[in-house]
Copies of this chain bind each other. A is one copy, B any other.
Amino acid sequence: MKEIFTPAGSVAPSPAGSVAPSPAGSVAGSRYPAPAPLAAAIGPQGSQSPHGSHGPRASHGKQGRQGSPGSPKPPLTPTTDAPPAPAALAAKVRTLAPSMTRSMQRVAEAVAADPAGCAALTVTGLAELTGTSEATVVRTARLLGYPGYRDLRLALAGLAAQQQSGRAPSVTADIAVDDPIADVVAKLAYDEQQTLADTAANLDTVQLGAAVAALATARRIDIYGVGASGLVAQDLGQKLLRIGLLAHAHSDPHLAVTNAVQLRSGDVAIAITHSGSTGDVIEPLRAAFDHGATTVAITGRPDGPVSQYADHILTTSTARESELRPAAMSSRTSQLLVVDCLFTGVTQRTYETAAPALAASYEALAHRHAPRTR
């Protein structure tokens, strides 16, 4: 049942077809036959939205009324320019201000000054705030080119979201001791995103491809890592085991070395070390290297000692660190991305055997979860 959502993205393009099996879907369209050209032009998102299907942005059935030529009502609505106000709302307010009455100006002013705040208000609320009436608010919305206040409000919400997202990257500062917890979350997330981007940008895909090729055909795989990198090593080991490869992550340096000397050509050894100079990891890699195994280093210091014994070097990124943000944090993020790339690449290469293995391991775990609660 959950799989409904996995393909959601792909199914999306045809909402009417996939989502609404019932013929009722057409009702909306039939009820509001032909939105006046004005409405079509006004639709805030209407122009870009690829979903022409539910075009019936059924705001009001009487839209057609406005289209009637020679409407008795004087030029309340300047049908001349009615483009949706995307972000140029403030400019539009200024442009149209002269043609506005006093009350309308008050409304327009409030809207331009605080889109986000106004978006949270109902027509009554905005009327009270500006000391005017609902009717005036609606008139202002019309003047600004929207069918009604409802649509203006929607546009306002969009504008507010844009504005807010614009000043999002203001949290790039370092984490301070007295940062509120919300800032900590934002900064950590931002930093890790940055680390990921850096890593992806700097990762040598040729080296990666070579490492993947070696892993895919390896008879046996040993992975070395200690400390924080040890967990990454175990993560990789777990993953490779799941797709049927004979992988083992060593955290004990002595055992790692004694196992490394068993390796030979056709085997693969992977060392994970951020500093590139962790003796406990280099030693087993060297042993493996000397015995003819293909060796891979995942390190943040490609110029470090570990590279001497590595056939393929995968570079992880080094983010700025601080007292409240130890290097282990970003290096781990970076290493895990590399590990994921390795795993995915190998899975691709060995899809015939990996897919069933993955399915089997998933199956095997199912019974360990208590029955769903819903």
Contacts and interface: CB of A to CB of B under 8 A. Distances in A.
Interface stretch (A184-192, A254-262, A288-296): A184-192
A374 B109 CA distance: 19
A280 interface: yes
Nearest to A283: B370
Interface in A199-252: 199-200, 203, 205, 208-209, 212, 227-228, 231, 234-235, 238-239
B15 A114 contact: yes
B29 A112 contact: yes
Contacts of A185: 200, 203, 205, 208, 341
Kindly state the interface size class of chain A when it binds its partner: 35 or more
Given A9-B113, A131-B15, A348-B324, A58 B122 contact: yes
Given A4-B105, A129-B15, A205-B182, A113 B345 contact: no
A5 B119 contact: no
Contacts of A365: 227
B25 A131 contact: yes
A98 B16 CA distance: 21
A341 B186 CA distance: 9
A135 to B, nearest CB: 15
A65 interface: no
A172 B203 CA distance: 19
A5 to B, nearest CB: 4
Contact of A186 (B157, B200, B325): B200
B129 A374 contact: no
B340 A5 contact: no
Contacts of A353: none
Given A15-B110, A28-B124, A323-B358, A2 B98 contact: yes
Contact of A121 (B54, B120, B205, B369): B54
Interface stretch (A30-38, A74-82, A263-271): A30-38
Contacts of A87: 161, 165
B203 A117 contact: no
Contact of A27 (B32, B105, B228): B105
B188 A108 contact: no
Nearest to A348: B177
Contacts of A328: 239
A113 to B, nearest CB: 2
A144 interface: no
Contacts of A125: 5, 8-9, 28, 54, 56-58
A279 to B, nearest CB: 5
A241 to B, nearest CB: 12
Contact of A344 (B56, B184, B344, B358): B184
Contacts of A66: none
13 contacts: A1-B102, A16-B129, A27-B105, A28-B109, A32-B109, A34-B113, A38-B114, A38-B116, A184-B344, A189-B196, A305-B373, A329-B340, A332-B336
